[in-house]
Amino acid sequence: MADPLWTEPLWTSGEIAAATGGKEVHGFAATGVSIDTRTLEPGDLFVALAGARDGHEFIAQAMAKGAAGALVSRDVAGPAVTVADTQAALEALGIAARERAGQARRGAVTGSVGKTSITQAIIAGLRLAGPAHSSVKSYNNHIGVPLTLARMPRGTQRAVFEIGMNHADEIRPLAKMVRPHAAVVTTVGPVHTENFPDGETGVARAKAEVFEGLEPGGVAVLNADNPWFDLLAGRAAQAGAKVLTFGTGADCDARLIDFQVPGPHAVIQARLHGKALEFPILQTGMHWGLNSMAVLLMLEALDVGLDAGLAALGSFEPLEGRGAEKSIAVKGGAVTLIDESYNANPISMASAIATLGARATEGRRIVALTDMLELGPQATDFHAGLAAPLQAASIDLVFCAGPLMKSLWDALPPTRRGGYAQTAEALAPELVGAVKPGDLVMVKGSNGSKAGLIARALAALDPRSPGMAEAG
């Protein structure tokens, strides 16, 4: 049976022209919106954005793949809506989608760590409560946010949007575009600090921009354990938001009491507004204790019941590159890969290392780490500083790749050194050659330092999973 959200076109060319102030050239009806011919589906509206390549160069390809029409800034053959600026038109289309789905409760997720995972956990809960919509992957920038809005069906009841930034003044316009009823700041830490002269203070202020877009009477969900809580709470109060807190303190609205990993999943003990809870989740990372508290508060703010929230957390699997685990067959047994290769910063590194140290294993605990990026002048100190959590977690072997990770390599005792290389490509064969049956191996690093190459190389050892060579 068709989803009731999709029983009518997402956009007609007339609606697009009205929303964008454009000129309709041959009528059409679109069932989706795309900016990339590689992922375009038949029936999509193709938006020809300017970029490294001008999207207008791909209009013929988009039509050949079944696009219903195009949003363009120059005359083209075939069905289209012509506008002065396609980026501005995409933003206008997103705002029009928000306004026509005025019944929808909207949430926004930002923070230095965990945005994508928390966003996807929230949408899992929203879907249990009715027609829902969300960001896909990490569509959280000046293109991804309006694109996600423009894709929102008119019958949506609840939606959640991921909002990211690299610099100040990037979150504010996106938050005002989304106009969330609830917004969560997962945490604030030393991420993108090279772009902020005042370091983490600037990062915290940039994250607080999300409150400026809140609907009147909106909810701000904040991490009370974070050192920047007071700054964020103050900014939320200035915006007129109701503040709900998560953390380990007795006064938190969602309080984490305990997080245990007795097997392939974790069990959480918590108190939600004073009510005792105990529930399982499929995640094993220790950071998912607080993540789960944030998810429950956001779902509550978006009018989703507790039972649906617990069900969503209980069935939400780790995302690829963000803690997904795989058993890899090798001669004589198997190696367990924990793939954390999508991104890394000092906060997530320390959490992932502590989680690995708490895991039971028949073999060795091994990490393969690549450079953490955009950390500014303190980058070498942040990398060298990982030696302490590695020691505390009793990690057996450490493999490092990248010029910044050289500072960690130099700080490690000889007994913990597994291998070092300048690049992920060069390190991968060293790790592959070193693993043994029973080993528990975590690969983590920034996407830009290509940690995924190492994870793929290790996964490719398994003759049962040829497709793993394509994942990461």
| pLDDT tens column, 110-125 | 998 889 999 999 999 9
For a pLDDT cut of 90, what percent of the chain falls above it?
A: 78
Query: Exposed, middle or buried: residue 332 (CB in 10 Å: 0-12, 13-18, 19+)?
Result: exposed
Amino acid letter, 343: N
93 found inside a domain:
no
The distance between the two most distant Cα atoms of the chain, rounded to a whole number of Å, is 70
91 found inside a domain:
no
Same-domain status, 461 and 371: yes
**CATH number of the domain that residue 423 is part of:** 3.90.190.20
The C-alpha angle with vertex 374 and arms to 34 and 384, in degrees rounded to 5, equals: 140
Q: What's residue 3's pLDDT?
A: 42
**CATH number of the domain that residue 239 is part of:** 3.40.1190.10
89 found inside a domain:
no
Q: What's residue 345's pLDDT?
A: 85
CA distance 165 to 172: 10
Domain closes at, from 84, 113, 144: 84
Extended strands (E) in 171-218: 182-185
Same-domain status, 269 and 341: no
Domain closes at, from 37, 59, 84: 84
Same-domain status, 167 and 68: no
94 found inside a domain:
no
Q: What's residue 195's pLDDT?
A: 76
Same-domain status, 254 and 146: yes
CA distance 162 to 120: 9
Same-domain status, 156 and 237: yes
Lowest-pLDDT choice from 4-18, 99-113, 410-424, 434-448: 4-18
340 found inside a domain:
yes
For the chain, the straight-line distance linking the first and the last C-alpha, in angstroms and rounded, comes to 33
Number of domains within the chain: 3
Q: Band of the pLDDT at 196, cuts 50, 70, 90?
A: confident
* pLDDT, tens digit, 9 for 90 and up, residues 252-277: 999 999 999 877 789 999 999 999 99
259 found inside a domain:
yes
Lowest-pLDDT choice from 48-52, 197-201, 226-230, 365-369: 197-201
Residue-range definition of the domain harbouring residue 390: 324-470
Same-domain status, 308 and 328: no
Compute the average pLDDT of residues 235-241. Answer: 97
**CATH number of the domain that residue 38 is part of:** 3.40.1390.10
Strand partners of residue 440: 336, 365
Domain closes at, from 294, 315, 336: 315
Same-domain status, 308 and 355: no
Q: Please, what is the average pLDDT of the chain?
A: 92
Q: Band of the pLDDT at 4, cuts 50, 70, 90?
A: very low
Same-domain status, 284 and 389: no
Same-domain status, 208 and 278: yes
Same-domain status, 172 and 245: yes
Same-domain status, 373 and 292: no
148 found inside a domain:
yes
Q: Of 44, 47, 46, 59, which Cα lies nearest the Cα of 10?
A: 44
404 found inside a domain:
yes
Same-domain status, 113 and 244: yes
